[in-house]
């Protein structure tokens, strides 16, 4: 099967596409792929590092401003129309069996062009609250796949909506816990708490961890691994040493956790933002979490993501306005020192996961291709 993937802006829009590609190759080893993204996002580098041997083409597009009368919106419409024409040219030359969109502005012109050309199309919505681009595309594509149960009704104009979960979950199932602990220099029976603020870090979480650092000594049997984000590392690690007097023996501060799947598989608890891919990863592994949704995202969608898991008991949601070092440590302490609570959260987290998500998406792709 020949598939074109499109998605960009953040890794959360790219990794699900790669997971679908991996599943396609597992099912049909002769599958071929092309990726269409933007030249300004993270997708070109992530795709190049994926090992899927996937050629990359760029289409330039930007999002709409909130002020409808903005001149920038007129420019965006013109970019969209030019993007559609460029996408049509790429698609006519590549002749894919299907086109898959996994979020981000670039999906707009690419999936719209594919639908207009009569190519089978599928979009995947990672968040509990759908984004503008996918809401627009839902009326044109063959199938909308959603990550959260109960969100099917948020696409009232779609021809077909199916629950598949997030394909990133499937990749996590293969993560090696032993390698994760070994990479940190920890014994195989270590009790691990991971604190990160996304791939780039989060200032609010870093500030809370600076305050929290002296408190980790109260949990000597627990090892904390804190990813600051590359740009925050020097200043944050220096302030932790200043606040705590010295770096506590059970706290490891890193600029970035490069092997996050393996480290996550080894963790007892994770503190993080509430991005859609992260949600898929932790529920696939059945890991309890403390989620601190970013308030600086479109339509506050991370809070909707976090609430969906917190309401089921798999997570504790801590809003950024309520975040402090003491408040965060209190929640960590309550979970780590209460085995029954931890076990319940782990069970509920796993219940929300969809480990075979990528396979479900590929099954739907096969269906729409056969139907065409």
Do 140 and 112 touch, CB atoms closer than 8 A?
A: yes
Helix (H, G, I), strand (E, B) or coil at 256: coil
302 is in an annotated binding site: yes
Contacts of 327 (CB under 8 A, 6+ apart): 208, 318
257 is in an annotated binding site: yes
83 is in an annotated binding site: no
Handedness of CA 92, 95, 97, 98 (dihedral sign): negative
157 is in an annotated binding site: no
38 is in an annotated binding site: no
Count other Cβ atoms within 10 Å, centred on residue 110: 32
Task: Quickly tell me which residue has 């809370």 as its tokens.
Answer: 208
Q: Quick one: 59 exposed, middle or buried, by C-beta within 10 A (0-12, 13-18, 19+)?
A: buried
20 is in an annotated binding site: no
Contacts of 316 (CB under 8 A, 6+ apart): 289, 290, 291, 310, 331, 335
250 is in an annotated binding site: no
Q: Quick one: 103 exposed, middle or buried, by C-beta within 10 A (0-12, 13-18, 19+)?
A: buried
**Residue 251 bridge partners (DSSP):** 224
* 289: enclosing H helix or E strand: strand 289-291
Q: Which residues are annotated as a binding site?
A: 10-12, 127, 199, 257, 302
Q: Which residues are annotated as a binding site for UDP-N-acetyl-alpha-D-glucosamine?
A: 10-12, 127, 199, 257, 302
């Amino acid at each position: 099967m020949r598939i074109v993937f499109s998605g960009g802006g953040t890794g959360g829009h790219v990794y699900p596409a790669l997971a679908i590609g991996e599943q396609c190759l597992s099912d049909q080893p002769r599958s071929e792929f092309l990726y269409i993204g933007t030249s300004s996002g993270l997708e070109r580098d992530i795709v190049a590092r994926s090992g899927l041997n996937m050629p990359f083409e760029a289409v330039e597009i930007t999002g709409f401003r909130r002020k409808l009368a903005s001149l920038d919106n007129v420019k965006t419409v013109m970019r969209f129309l030019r993007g559609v024409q460029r996408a049509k040219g790429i698609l006519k030359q590549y002749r894919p069996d299907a086109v898959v969109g996994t979020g981000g502005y670039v999906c707009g012109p690419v999936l719209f062009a594919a639908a207009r050309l009569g190519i089978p199309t599928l979009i995947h919505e990672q968040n509990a609250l759908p984004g503008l681009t996918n809401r627009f595309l839902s009326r044109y594509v063959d199938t909308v796949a959603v990550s959260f149960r109960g969100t099917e009704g948020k696409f009232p104009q779609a021809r077909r909506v199916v629950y598949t979960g997030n394909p990133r979950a499937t990749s996590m199932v293969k993560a090696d816990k032993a390698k994760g602990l070994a990479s940190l220099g920890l014994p195989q029976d270590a009790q691990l708490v991971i604190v990160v603020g996304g791939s780039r870090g989060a200032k609010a979480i870093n500030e809370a961890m600076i305050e929290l650092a002296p408190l980790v000594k109260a949990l000597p049997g627990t090892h904390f691994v804190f990813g600051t984000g590359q740009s925050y590392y020097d200043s944050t690690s220096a302030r932790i040493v200043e606040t705590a007097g010295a770096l506590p023996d059970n706290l490891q501060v890193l600029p970035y956790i490069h092997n996050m799947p393996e480290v996550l598989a080894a963790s007892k608890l994770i503190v993080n933002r509430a991005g859609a891919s992260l949600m898929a990863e932790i529920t696939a592994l059945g890991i309890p979490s403390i989620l601190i949704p970013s308030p600086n995202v479109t339509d506050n969608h991370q809070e909707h993501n976090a609430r969906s898991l917190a309401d089921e008991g798999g997570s504790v949601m801590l809003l950024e306005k309520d975040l402090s070092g003491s408040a965060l440590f209190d929640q960590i302490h309550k979970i780590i020192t209460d085995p029954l609570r931890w076990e319940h959260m782990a069970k509920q987290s796993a219940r929300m996961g969809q480990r075979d998500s990528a396979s479900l998406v590929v099954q739907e792709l096969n269906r729409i291709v056969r139907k065409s």
